[in-house]
Amino acid sequence: MRAGKQPNASAVQYREIDAQAAGQRVDNFLISKLKGVPKSHIYRILRKGEVRINRGRCPPDYRLQAGDVVRIPPMRLPTTDHGRAVGPSRPPALSILFEDDDLLAVDKPAGLAVHGGSGVAWGLIEGLRASRPRARFLELVHRLDRDTSGCLLVAKRRSALLALHEQLRDAEIDKRYTALVRGRWTDHVTQVEAPLLKFRLRSGERQVEVSQTGRDAVSQFVPKCLYANSTQVEIRLLTGRTHQARVHAAHSNHPIAGDTKYGDREFNRSVRRLGLNRLFLHAHCLTFRHPRNGSRLVIESTLPRELAMLLDSLGSASPSDDNGA
């Protein structure tokens, strides 16, 4: 198809919901099935009533039941400049930290989105599905920002997804990050409790700010190593809001190195001169109960080489006097 022609369009689809898919919201079901279609378009066809369940309209938060028949209208798929439908070209090379019949833990590299959309043709989950065509179920348990690296959980069964989501809601999953922040953070432990409000700019870009009208958000910051003008900290997220670690760090006057959205330009320039070309935020540890047998699982990811090299280039680090790290 030449450029300028109509984009590739799919035919009407009818999907009968089985026990494996039952219980999930219809919007999440469509997002998982319509790979490469922007979320904004999926919510638009839901609002317009073009998606039907058992021949009737449905709200985005409708929970599917076994036996439901979902009608998915013809979709115009995004195209490249050459008129080809955009989709996963080849799965990214991923390091698997843990895997069994219920879940897998992936070591996500920085720069890789967890899912396609918003100008991104494909993400980690689409690549993972493409590399495992026989897998009947692969869904993200949680998300990491595109520029954040580290531990990411993917459920291989719906029962595992629901169990892990329950642990997330009850704050039973311990999520810890390593970050480099501006300035010398000398307090032993700082707990930041600042509600976060998410909104979109005119460009469509997501933005988050501290606001009393936002949702409750709590983070703990523990200094590990003090440098001349920066500090390596461990961040424990007690809630899971969008951009939480980055906004809470900036709110505490210690923005994260390499953060071009909420960070400090001069600080970013100084670490860029030392070779940092990414956000210094790494999800290094997840602790939770196994969704099937309840055993305690600890998933760990080592600090990426480029971040470790930056710490080495900062010179002799001194442990925080308060915590002995």
Phi, psi of 26 (to 5 degrees): -65, -35
Largest interatomic CA distance in the chain: 67
**Cross-sheet strand order for the sheet of 13-16:** 13-16, 69-72, 52-53
Nearest CA to 297 among 102, 58, 77, 21?
102
Q: Are 248 and 217 in contact (CB under 8 A)?
A: yes
74, with CB counted inside 10 A (0-12, 13-18, 19+), is exposed
Sign of CA dihedral 157, 159, 165, 167: negative
Q: In the annotation, is 102 catalytic? A: no
Active-site choice (27, 68, 107, 145): 145
CA 290, CA 56: separation in Å to the nearest integer?
A: 38
Q: Which residues are catalytic?
A: 145
